[in-house]
Amino acid sequence: GPETVASHAARAALELLGAAGPAESDAARGFVLEVREFLLVEGRTDLLVDLARAAARVLASRPEEKQALLALLLDASTLKALIAALPPETTQAPAPLAELFAAASDAVSGPLLDLLHAEGDGPRSALLRGLVAGGSRLSPEAIAERLPGATGGARVGLMRALAEVDPAAALRDAEAATTQEDPEVQLEALRQLQAAEFRPEVARALRHLVESSAEEVRVAALPAMARGGARALPALAAHAEKNAGTLSKAEAEATGRALAQAAPRGALERFEAWLHPQGGGLLGRLSRGLGPVGLQQAALAGLELIGGGEADALLELLGQKGEREVAAAARRLVERRRTAGGTA
């Protein structure tokens, strides 16, 4: 039957490859490629993987010849067929395929990058991201030339691959990627920026993320901004004040905590100003009682991280005059501090 023919063909190709001397090597390679085409037509990608792995073992003592054959055997269309043969939900390559790709890293790295780029956010993007990130011989240039125009999961995979081979180039790309209105890409940029030294370039990139159109990105970026210490205070406070009327509870609380972590003394002064708005400016116009609810929520979250009499006094004020939910939470915090022996 066809299965027997396929198995015999693969075995014959290996025997010919092993027996071929220098004069017959071209003919042997040609036969191996014919067998590959037959196996692809028959849908026997499992036998094709076995054939390629066995061929690599047969030629182990002749590394240049081995790599040349693998490059021929695993061309772009073959790689596409091997990936397509896996169930769509596959997120990790089966061990034989992963082993083969590792042995043929020089040959498959570029085509795998191309497949990832073409896949975008398709069902096999996670699988391809893993294969690309595992490539040990990817060149930064090969990755960089595929970055423009890549979006979503494909862009994330390329960014992670670049970080593996050229961390400095990856950081520059992450800084640039913060201006893309693509939450998945922005979150990956944030992940890479969080591991970097807090330089002015990193601070600017984080400010881009704090101004993202996606709330999940803004909320994730705010704690990272706090690493800037007192230098980050004006930008964090401006973010809260500019968006005072529209902040969600989660974003308000993230902003307040970031302020307190960045510079407790400066944060305390901001919270004091927010809860006692003066004049007819933006805060004055928006204020009712202690100011916009978003700023009350931010102040409460920040005050939870700050001790001392001034913080306690502001908590007491929130508990007495704050918006209903904020006031209730402030009173509970005051009570917890009293129970714990604090000064509130």
Contacts (Cβ under 8 Å, ≥6 apart) of 320: 327
Neighbours of 279 (CB within 10 A): 8
pLDDT tens across the length of the chain (344 residues):
556 888 888 888 888 777 776 656 788 888 888 989 998 998 899 999 998 888 888 888 888 888 888 888 888 899 999 999 999 888 888 888 888 888 887 788 888 888 888 887 788 888 887 787 665 566 788 888 888 888 888 888 888 888 878 899 999 999 999 999 999 999 999 999 999 999 999 999 999 999 999 999 999 999 999 999 999 999 999 999 999 999 999 999 999 999 999 999 999 999 999 998 665 444 444 444 678 999 999 999 999 999 899 999 999 999 999 999 999 999 999 999 988 874 44
Do the Cβ atoms of 91 and 130 come closer than 8 Å? yes
Cα–Cα distances in Å, from 18 out to 9, 64, 328?
14, 15, 80
What burial class does residue 26 get, using C-beta atoms within 10 Å of its C-beta: 0-12 exposed, 13-18 middle, 19+ buried? Answer: exposed
The phi and psi torsions of 158 (rounded to 5 degrees) equal -65, -40
Neighbours of 118 (CB within 10 A): 12
Token pair recorded at residue 341: 């022996």
Cα–Cα distances in Å, from 327 out to 242, 277, 286, 307?
23, 18, 18, 18
What confidence score (pLDDT) does residue 288 get?
47
Q: What is the pLDDT of residues 196-205, one digit of tens each?
A: 999 999 999 9
Neighbours of 88 (CB within 10 A): 9
CA 240 – CA 218 distance, rounded (Å): 12
Q: What is the pLDDT of residues 224-252, one digit of tens each?
A: 999 999 999 999 999 999 999 999 999 99
Contacts (Cβ under 8 Å, ≥6 apart) of 154: 116, 117, 118, 119, 120, 121, 125
What confidence score (pLDDT) does residue 1 get?
53
